[in-house]
A and B are shown apart, each in its own frame.
Chain A
Amino acid sequence: MNKVLMKGNEAIAEAAIRAGCMHFFGYPITPQTEVAAYFSKKLPKLGGTFLQAESEVAAINMVLGAASAGVRTMTSSSSPGISLKSEGISYIIGSDLPCLIINVQRGGPGLGGIQPSQSDYWQATKAPGHGDSHLLVYAPESVQEIVEYVFTAFDKAEEYRMPAMLLLDGTLGQMMEPVCFDNIPTPKKNEKPWATNGHKNEREHNIVNSLYLKPEELEVKNFERFERYAKVCENEQRYEEYMTEDAEIIIVAIGIAARVSKSAIDEARAMGIKVGLVRPITVYPFPTKAFDKIKENPNVKNILTVELNMGQMTDDVKLALECKKPVELLRHSGGIVPTPKEVLAKLCELNGGNK
């Protein structure tokens, strides 16, 4: 195994290049600037396009253009920058185009702070832009998993003709871990008969557009898109279960919160507390299937969500459980990451409450 140490941000860019993404458009913002920096060093030498746009709005519209032409393309930003991009994201969704958007989240709202956060969960999963719209949203927890899901995100975005997002936090962008590129998949070569590329007059010209002035046409378009979303919800749920088999308390957490929770779980298990973790890897679609058994399992006494926001994912957890289990929330906001000690204290409290 050939391992190298890489920052999460660098691994995003390396994985994307290996997945055949030769067109990156971005604008710098902490804590994700290394994504663009890495592309700027590599892409020109490979004959690709690296462009630092004049703004986030420009960058996402360049992605719209490149995606229309049928090439693999992406942009990257952090929370305030993603808000700026949201108009363009909606246009890309409305145009049924695949692309990859990275959000390395920082504390908000407003300019907020620059420390790690998960406070764009609602934005990513419920309202990435205006209109009836969704993204495929992946929330990996390690640098190696970032690499894996960059590939998945591009493939699935093309399969379903919708943009995909990697929803990370500042910790994952900045941290270094060993990563191995030995077993990466071969990027899929999806046919793109809709692309507005050169064709030497051998076919009718294609139009990529998100404007439908007749409401009947727009409604048909939206119903068709939501049929695809239904397929996504049926087929694309991904999650990890960690020590859930005999668990009486189940933590639900993503990204860095999941990793902190795993530390706490290891300590709690050593103390005899039966606790496990469900870690959603896709957050749109939310992995409701992970909760089908849990919600009917009499051994499960408590659910604990651990979030770097005011409790945005907790709503989805309650829905998935159909409110059949009590859900407690441990939260930090503004850029603070909970410590394993805090999580452990909460687990002890919940465990004591059961006796």
Chain B
Amino acid sequence: MAHNILFAGFGGQGVQFAAKVTTYAGMMSGHEVSLLPSYGPEMRGGTSNCAVRIDSKMIASPIVNEPNILMALNQPSYDKFAEKAEAGGYIIYDDSLIKRSDERTDINVFPIPATKLARENGYTGLANMIALGYMAKKTGFLSLEDIKEGLKKAVPASKAALLDKNIEALDLGYNY
């Protein structure tokens, strides 16, 4: 298996955290992994993105130029990266914030109103986990159980109290 995943959204939407959970999930399930965040002024108020590679073979370059899975959580990210997604790949996007701007028919596009679902179900700030759960369901890139294992590893001990909420948000997205 080989997945080149790009997570993108506003700074503060949890893009980096979703990427970290995914990377840990890949690592814990026995795969080679790498994570490369964007850094610098892009992060401050603008778009933040994070490239994750999961592969059964050694990973050469950590850079993702053409993601086969794109998670877009804001409009600028969708506009910037949708055209770069690999043909036959997947786009998961938050349609409570994003209006689809492309006309591609060669990719699998799955909208989920993650931010709205988070707000209405008491998971404010966890739209990232809702979208990640949904991504696991729609792409099958890793199992939900793998992602939960990754989540346990990615949540620092000082924030262990938040683990249950994150798991519930993953479930909500998976069962959407």
A337 at the interface (CB under 8 A from B): yes
Among listed B60-68, B112-120, B126-134, B138-146, interface-contacting one: B60-68
- Kindly list chain A residues whose C-beta atoms are within 8 Å of the C-beta of B34: 175-177
B163 at the interface (CB under 8 A from A): no
A164 at the interface (CB under 8 A from B): no
- Kindly list chain B residues whose C-beta atoms are within 8 Å of the C-beta of A341: 65
Q: Is the CB of A176 within 8 A of B61?
A: no
Among listed B6-14, B36-44, B164-172, interface-contacting one: B36-44
Interface residues on A, range: 20 to 34
Instruction: From A115, A170, A171, give the contact of B62 (CB < 8 A).
Output: A171
Q: Is the CB of B23 within 8 A of A176?
A: yes
Instruction: From B23, B27, B41, B61, give the contact of A260 (CB < 8 A).
Output: B61
B35 at the interface (CB under 8 A from A): yes
Q: Is the CB of B36 within 8 A of A259?
A: no
Among residues of B, the one whose C-beta sits closest to the C-beta of A266 is B60
Instruction: From A174, A175, A176, A259, give the contact of B60 (CB < 8 A).
Output: A259
Q: Is the CB of B27 within 8 A of A5?
A: yes
Distance between Cα atoms of A176 and B59 in the complex (Å) = 12
Q: Is the CB of A340 within 8 A of B33?
A: no
B24 at the interface (CB under 8 A from A): yes
- Kindly list chain B residues whose C-beta atoms are within 8 Å of the C-beta of A115: 40
Prevailing SS type, chain B contact patch: mixed
Among residues of B, the one whose C-beta sits closest to the C-beta of A337 is B63
B148 at the interface (CB under 8 A from A): no
A206 at the interface (CB under 8 A from B): no
Shortest B80–chain A CB gap in Å is 16
A314-355 with Cβ < 8 A to chain B: 337, 339-341
Considering residues A174, A177, A337, A339, which has the most beta carbons from chain B within 10 angstroms of its beta carbon?
A: A177
Distance between Cα atoms of A337 and B60 in the complex (Å) = 14
A214 at the interface (CB under 8 A from B): no
* A260 touching B63 in the complex, CB below 8 Å, given contacts A5-B35, A176-B34: yes
Among residues of A, the one whose C-beta sits closest to the C-beta of B28 is A3
Shortest B63–chain A CB gap in Å is 6
Q: Is the CB of B65 within 8 A of A30?
A: no
Among residues of B, the one whose C-beta sits closest to the C-beta of A343 is B61
Shortest B136–chain A CB gap in Å is 19
Distance between Cα atoms of A264 and B149 in the complex (Å) = 33
Shortest A182–chain B CB gap in Å is 15
Instruction: From A175, A178, A261, A266, give the contact of B36 (CB < 8 A).
Output: A175
Among residues of A, the one whose C-beta sits closest to the C-beta of B27 is A178
Q: Is the CB of A177 within 8 A of B62?
A: yes
Distance between Cα atoms of A341 and B65 in the complex (Å) = 10
Q: Is the CB of A30 within 8 A of B61?
A: no
Q: Is the CB of B62 within 8 A of A175?
A: yes
Distance between Cα atoms of A154 and B133 in the complex (Å) = 45
B contact set with A: CB distance below 8 Å: 20, 23-24, 27, 33-37, 39-41, 60-63, 65
Task: Across the A-B interface, give the 9 residue pairs with the lowest CB-CB distance, nearest first.
Answer: A262-B60, A263-B60, A176-B35, A175-B36, A263-B61, A260-B61, A259-B61, A114-B40, A175-B62
- Since A114-B40, A115-B40, A337-B63 are in contact, a sample of 6 more A-B pairs with Cβ atoms closer than 8 Å, ordered by chain A residue number, is A5-B27, A176-B20, A176-B35, A177-B62, A262-B60, A263-B61
A-B contact pairs, 25 of them (CB 8 A): A3-B27, A5-B27, A5-B33, A30-B40, A174-B36, A174-B37, A174-B39, A175-B36, A175-B62, A176-B20, A176-B23, A176-B34, A176-B36, A177-B62, A178-B27, A178-B33, A256-B61, A256-B63, A259-B62, A262-B61, A263-B61, A266-B60, A340-B60, A340-B61, A341-B65
